[in-house]
Structure 1
Amino acid sequence: MKALMMTRVGEPEVLQLQQVDEPVIRQPSEVKIKLYAAGVNPIDTKIRRGGLLQGDRFPVILGCDGAGEVVEVGASVSRYKPGDKVWFCHGGLGLEQGNYAPVNVVDERWLATMPSNASYIEAAAAPLVLITAWGALYNRGRLQAGQTVLIHGGAGGVGHVAIQLAKLRGARVITTVSSSEKEQFVRNLGADEVIIYPTEDTLERLLALTLGRGADLVFDTVGRDVFLPSITMTAHFGTLVSILDPGVFDFQEARMRNLSIAFELMLTPMLRNLSEARDEQVAILQRCAEYMLAGQLVIEVSEVFSLAEGLGAHAIIEAGHTQGKIVLTI
């Protein structure tokens, strides 16, 4: 089969379409999947540059998110049969094969049944961002109905599903975006208030919207430049959750506010082989499938590339300000 291979650490050009042996079932609990689409995430670009990369043998196949059809099952597989449509987040970190390929083999434990109203493209776009947003808001952030949440970068991959999950929990959602076009996009997703950060003072506007209190929960999907000012955007006794490393910072104001500060790295269960935590992630996908079937959760895919065009997808993600998700078709 021809797969998009990471030949070494470096720029997008290190991604090359190469012939490689098709994976085969080796364990009785494994499932062979014909992949139709693979999600492209910012973490893929960071792994390509060497961050969180497991092992040092090249070439490797990137791509954590995949969606496809079961074509073969191991002797002990009980949950799936040939013809079933599945979506999942597995591999792509350097040791186990990722999903920038026509075929993958995955243990049935890490698969979930695709929502029947989703295309392969939509399904492949979703797992990592859904698990991330769910973990950040519901598990780390303990979001409750009636609370106010500030979601930075609401038009992005994680941000746009976070808005919807927060509304499903009954929260008031304030979000930041970079343009008036994105403002309309996030309002259509359910955002109650939108701050266009290039032209508005985010803290000033937030305080005006919350009568000087700040948000009960602030969700940083951007990084250090947003994380640090978010401390003063979080209400006293509130929670600040980030999906990125903020680096070294002064805790004084966070301590004075009695803030809870948490981090959401959904890859930790894969990186640390935490099987029970991975079971919980599969359960999240099953719950999200129910929301999607009910029309309460949608996945925005802004651009679709062929597998051979994967380096272009990486370049766009690294340029920033992507709306929704980018997907490779296979």
Structure 2
Amino acid sequence: MKGLYWKQNSSGEETNFVFLEKDNLPVVKDNYVKVRVRACALSRIDTKLLSDIKLEKEFLPVGREVAGVVLEIGNKVSSFQPNDEVVGILPLDSEESGLCEVILIHEHYLAHKPEKISWTEAAATLRDGVRAYTGLHYLSYVSTGKTLLVMNGASPFGTIAIQLAQHRGAKVIATVYSLEDKQYLQRLTPSVARIIDESNGKYDLTESCLEETGGLGVDIILDAGVRSHNKEDKVASQELLPHKHDIITLLSVGGHWVTMEENLQLDPPDSRCLFLKGASVSFLNDEVWNLSNMQQGKYLCILEDIMEKLSSGIFRPLLDEPIPLYEAKVSMEMVQKNQARKKQVVQL
């Protein structure tokens, strides 16, 4: 069987994706489950994280969010039976590529998939669902009456976060960077309270949010990265990102800023402003569930709840057309360069 793998060049600057022939699977035993993969979603590989946790390899498996059918179970497996439909995210240290026809995975990384949802939808919602739950339930406390600002709301992650917050009764404000993204959010039901189109420069993020909240500020901010420098010093890749000072200005008293900016640096005036507001900053790294198994039960509950909400229509992922396996390499290159606007899912 072939699988897709990431190969890092010796320079460490470029990445290549290659198909490699995989050895036959070992005998299924203990708590492991053999799964026939039906769909695998593609997500960007965090090379910096892998380096930090000493998981750099010459060939790293690609494709971790999988949906498939149980073929065989180990003698200690208690949660699944052959022919069960399952979903799961392969651990960071997995030797398996999710783009193989058949894989082995520990039962504690799997959850049941409802029959009524498609394979591609199930795989597409997993990672963004876990990320949204982590940001909105464990790092902040989204609930009825709260106001949430989602940056880049028309992204696959932003879409899931908006729907989860609305389901919990929160009022949602979202930013977009194109007319197409704005039109997409306008079609969501229930509707987003306010959509701020930052592509044309007509709207000021701070003024728009304060106007929408009556000057009180936003209770929760979920960013997609922030800019640390002034506009005149901006980097091209950060052109549309908000400045960190604008984010802090937008926060309400007791507000929560959930950031995906791993290199965030706060100056003393920024810290002072957060202190005066009694506000907090949390770092959103959805891999923490796989980096530690202390709260494995909570993690599995999240996966089950994501599937339940997908089945009941609360979640509708921003999904591109399913990709055949032979196009997975090209699609993964797009994902790694952040060039894919919709979620890419390979159908096997």
SS in 1 for 2:67: strand
Among residues 13, 16, 23, which one is paired with 1:14 in the alignment?
16
Change over 3 Å in CA distance of 1:187–1:139 after alignment to 2: farther
Among residues 328, 335, 343, which one is paired with 1:310 in the alignment?
328
Question: Who is 1:24 aligned against?
Answer: 26
Structure 2 gap ranges (5+): 228-240
User: CA contact under 8 A between 1:38 and 1:328: conserved in structure 2?
Assistant: yes
Change over 3 Å in CA distance of 1:89–1:95 after alignment to 2: closer
Greater alpha carbon shift after TM alignment, 135-144 vs 215-224: 215-224
User: CA contact under 8 A between 2:29 and 2:73: conserved in structure 1?
Assistant: no
SS in 1 for 2:165: helix
- Partner Cα distance (1:11, 1:304) in 2: 30
SS in 1 for 2:56: coil
Q: Normalising by structure 1, report the TM-score.
A: 0.90
User: CA contact under 8 A between 1:29 and 1:74: conserved in structure 2?
Assistant: yes
Question: Who is 1:183 aligned against?
Answer: 182
Question: Who is 1:57 aligned against?
Answer: 57
Change over 3 Å in CA distance of 1:94–1:106 after alignment to 2: closer
User: CA contact under 8 A between 1:300 and 1:324: conserved in structure 2?
Assistant: yes
Give 1:26 deviation, angstroms. 4.8
Is the counterpart of residue 226 in structure 1 residue 227 in structure 2?
A: no
Question: Who is 1:156 aligned against?
Answer: 155
- Partner Cα distance (2:207, 2:111) in 1: 43
Task: Name the count of aligned residue pairs.
Answer: 325
**What is the one-letter code of the residue matched to 1:299?**
P
Give 1:53 deviation, angstroms. 6.5
Give 1:58 deviation, angstroms. 2.5
User: CA contact under 8 A between 2:41 and 2:123: conserved in structure 1?
Assistant: yes
**What is the one-letter code of the residue matched to 1:252?**
R
SS in 2 for 1:66: strand
Structure 1 gap ranges (5+): none
Is the counterpart of residue 269 in structure 1 residue 289 in structure 2?
A: yes
Question: Who is 1:81 aligned against?
Answer: 81
Give 1:223 deviation, angstroms. 4.2
Change over 3 Å in CA distance of 1:4–1:313 after alignment to 2: same
SS in 2 for 1:185: helix
SS in 1 for 2:117: coil
Give 1:78 deviation, angstroms. 2.1
Give 1:152 deviation, angstroms. 0.6
Question: Who is 1:259 aligned against?
Answer: 279
- Partner Cα distance (1:89, 1:163) in 2: 22
Give 1:165 deviation, angstroms. 0.2
Give 1:90 deviation, angstroms. 1.6
Larger Rg: 2
Give 1:210 deviation, angstroms. 1.1
Seq. identity, %: 26
SS in 2 for 1:195: strand
User: CA contact under 8 A between 2:87 and 2:122: conserved in structure 1?
Assistant: yes
Greater alpha carbon shift after TM alignment, 181-190 vs 213-222: 181-190
Is the counterpart of residue 286 in structure 1 residue 321 in structure 2?
A: no
- Partner Cα distance (1:51, 1:256) in 2: 37
- Partner Cα distance (1:51, 1:297) in 2: 33
Give 1:220 deviation, angstroms. 1.0
The root-mean-square deviation of aligned C-alpha atoms, in Å, is 2.3
Is the counterpart of residue 145 in structure 1 residue 165 in structure 2?
A: no
Greater alpha carbon shift after TM alignment, 157-166 vs 299-308: 299-308
